[in-house]
Amino acid sequence: MHPRGEHAPQNKSEILQGTLDLMVLKTLEAMGPLHGYGIARRIEQISQEALRVNQGTIYLCLVRLLQKKWIKAEWGASENNRKARFYSISKAGRKQLIAETENWERVSGVIGRLLLMDGPR
Amino acid sequence: MLSFLNRLIARIGAVFRSSDFDRELDAELSAHLKLRAEDLIRQGMQPDEAEHIARIQLGGIAQLREAHREIRGVPFVDTVLRDLRYALRQIRSRPGFSALAITILALGIGANTAIFSVVNGVVLRPLPFEHPERLVALFEANVIGDNNPYNTVAPANFFDWQKQATTFDQIAAISFTTFNLSGSSKELSTERVDGCGASANFFGTLGVAPVLGRSFSGDEDRPGGTPVAIISYGLWKRRFGGSDDALLQHVRLDGKLFSIVGVLPANFGYPSRTVQVWIPLEQHLAPVVLEAHDNHVLSSTIGRLKSGRTVEQARAEVDSIVKRL
């Protein structure tokens, strides 16, 4: 992911490679079918602008997830009757989400403990 | 692993439906922009500004489309297909120029191949024999008639040269023939093969050693000697499965059984790659032929010069031998 945000405030964080997949899968699991913009908006709301997501990269992530058959896509009508493509999580996607959640917790636990280490007295 | 496979299949499929995917992405992105702009307007933004901001937040659409293509397809195949389409369009739009270019290319490649074939045969792959510079071919010259200086040699002359010449380490000869070849048992089919009668020192003169077994001995190269045969690598593979047991077996040549004593290397191809069986020269030729000075049945006569001797010295010596006869 290469969010272009040279002019964005410095206190926004870059997205870790691969974590966008996890975020999209979790969003779809929690919210049910959503179109691309809906997913982008939801992630923005949750992160409260702390993450620097280039909204376009959501679509790249969606293609990858579609190819892996972790999500499904269907054309439908948006809230104000616009044609939009709706994505929903698949059975394989749910499995993957569980695996990735565990993995994430393991890694973040390790990082957390590492950062808590005290220096030599 | 499964997701990897799914992704691969999807990528390959996408190559063939590229324009569908482009259209879908465009529709998605324009929906995205409109939805975003509407949200911004609801927050109190002017429509112009809202559209502008929506675009900025989405990021560069052209780059996005390119990245999308790379992710969903097989980039290399995609590019090649695009180039190919472009090339075909160019050829169609300028047929005359294209024909000329193709002709020039064809001629160039052809000439290159021809030259390489010659260089390969003459320079890169010299005779596959030991010290090929010392090998000479011997002929008889007609003193009467058409004065053909390259007449094949009669057996009796060959034997005289063998005995008397001092400029040569060895002189060897072969006589080309064909055999009806069959196995020692009836079940193997009969075939017609090219063969040679070869003097016992023939392979030694060329500096070629059998890959299996041995060459002929002097005792075998006699009228009435033990019937033995040497076979080509190809025949060995084909009829004997490349097995060492071939040395215990026989071939029937024109109805007569010969024990196999040797197998030649795969690259051996003299006088021709078609020759598949060799038997001793003096078993091949009838005694009366062997004694003749005027029956020119030896297809090739080959001498190996002693090291340091020149072709001219050898020629002078062979001439003097012939004159003494």
Q: Report yes or no: A1 at the B interface, CB cutoff 8 Å.
A: no
| Range in A70-84, A102-116, B245-259 the model is least confident about | A70-84
Q: Which of B1, B2, B7, B17 to mutate to test the interface with A (most CBs of A within 10 A)?
A: B7
Work out whether strand B191-198 and strand B300-305 pair parallel, antiparallel, or are unpaired: unpaired
Tell me the chain B residues in contact with residue A60 when contact means C-beta distances shorter than 8 Å. Answer: 64, 67-68, 71
Say if residue B283 is in the same domain as residue B155: yes
Residue A4: per-residue pLDDT? 44
User: Is residue B153 located within the same domain as residue B251?
Assistant: yes
Contact call for A84 and B28, based on CB within 8 A: yes
pLDDT at A80 over 90: no
pLDDT per residue as tens digits for the range B45-78: 898 998 888 888 888 888 888 888 888 777 667 7
Q: Is the same domain home to B318 and B195?
A: yes
Look at residue A3 in the predicted model and tell me its pLDDT. 45
pLDDT digits (tens, 9 = 90+) for B191-216: 899 999 999 999 999 988 899 999 99
Give residue B69's domain range.
Answer: 2-93
Q: Which residues contact B211 (CB under 8 A, 6 or more apart)?
A: B233, B263, B264, B265, B266
Interatomic CA distance for residues B162 and B25, integer angstroms: 89
Question: Prior bond to B132 cis, omega within 30?
Answer: no
Those of residues 62-121 in B touching chain A at CB distance below 8 A are 63-64, 67-68, 71-72
Rg (alpha carbons) of chain B, rounded to whole number:
38
Instruction: Name the residue of chain B whose CA is nearest to A60's CA.
Output: B68
- Cβ contacts (< 8 Å) between B20 and chain A: which residues? none
Per residue in B83-122, pLDDT (tens digit) is 888 888 988 898 899 899 999 999 999 999 999 888 877 7
Instruction: Specify whether B99 is located in the same domain as B87.
Output: no
In angstroms, rounded to a whole number, what is the distance separating the alpha carbons of residues A73 and A71? 7
Instruction: Please report the pLDDT score of residue B143 as a whole number.
Output: 65
Query: Shortest CB distance from A64 goes to which of B2, B29, B71?
Result: B71
C-alpha B18/C-alpha B78 separation (Å) is: 9
Q: Are residues B108 and B175 in the same domain?
A: no
> Are residues B158 and B35 part of one domain?
no
The pLDDT of residue B15 is 72
**B41 burial via Cβ count (<10 Å: 0-12, 13-18, 19+):** middle
User: How many separate domains does chain B show?
Assistant: 3
Which tens digits make up the pLDDT trace of B213-240?
999 999 999 998 999 999 999 999 988 8
Contact by Cβ (8 Å): A86, B88: no
Q: Round to whole Å and give the CA distance between A98 and B308.
A: 86
Over the stretch B164-194, which tens digit does the pLDDT of each residue have?
A: 888 899 999 999 999 999 876 665 688 899 9
Q: What is the mean pLDDT of residues B270-279?
A: 89
B180 and B281 fall within a common domain: yes
B118/B43 same-domain check: no
